[in-house]
Amino acid sequence: MHRRLLLPSMLVLAAACASGTDTQSQPLTLEGTWTQSAHLVDATHGDDHAHFGTYAFAQANSGGYTGTGQQDGLCTAAGQHYTGPLADTTTFQLTNAVLSGREVSFQRDICTFSGSFVAGRNDRITGTATCSYTRNGVDYTFTGGWQADRVSN
């Protein structure tokens, strides 16, 4: 009787273990749609910016990647909220996107992003971002942490 229950139990256990996504065995690529977020600070002026949005990357003929992004966010200076270029919801181009091993880098008009795929995963990137622009005659440079999670290929 115990032998008859052992085989079905092992099959159920094997199916349960196999049902998860094995991101380690899948190749690394930037292709697909990603959700992204960042928390950036301008240390000189004390401005703070948090944003969230999406990126969509496709393989380029050159071997790198191209894409578009869109984001929204909240900028704060001296306790007051404002809408700056980092919180502009207009679609922007992603350029110079390169994947080298696990390392990733790309740019948008006012920002440079660098990071790496999280160990053992092909669907999460973490790193740093630097964004620079001039607003009302004042130069700003925001730096901080950034992350992206793939939502589709």
Per residue in 32-81, pLDDT tens? 999 999 999 999 999 999 999 999 999 998 889 999 999 999 999 988 99
Domain range for 94 is: 28-152
Our measurement of the distance from residue 27's CA atom to the centroid of its chain's CA atoms, rounded to an integer in Å, reads 17
Query: Is residue 52 one of the residues assigned to a domain?
Result: yes
pTM metric for this prediction: 0.81
Query: Is residue 23 one of the residues assigned to a domain?
Result: no
Query: Is residue 6 one of the residues assigned to a domain?
Result: no
pLDDT bracket for residue 13 (50, 70, 90): very low
For tokens 């159920």, the residue is: 12
Query: Is residue 94 one of the residues assigned to a domain?
Result: yes
Q: How many domains does the chain have?
A: 1
pLDDT bracket for residue 15 (50, 70, 90): very low
Q: How far apart are CA 74 and CA 84, in angstroms?
A: 8
Q: How far apart are CA 125 and CA 127, in angstroms?
A: 7
Per residue in 100-150, pLDDT tens? 999 999 999 999 999 999 999 999 999 999 999 998 899 999 999 999 999
Q: How far apart are CA 107 and CA 94, in angstroms?
A: 6
Query: Is residue 1 one of the residues assigned to a domain?
Result: no
Which of these, 141, 129, 126, lies nearest to 34 by C-alpha position?
126
The CATH number for 122's domain is: 2.40.128.30
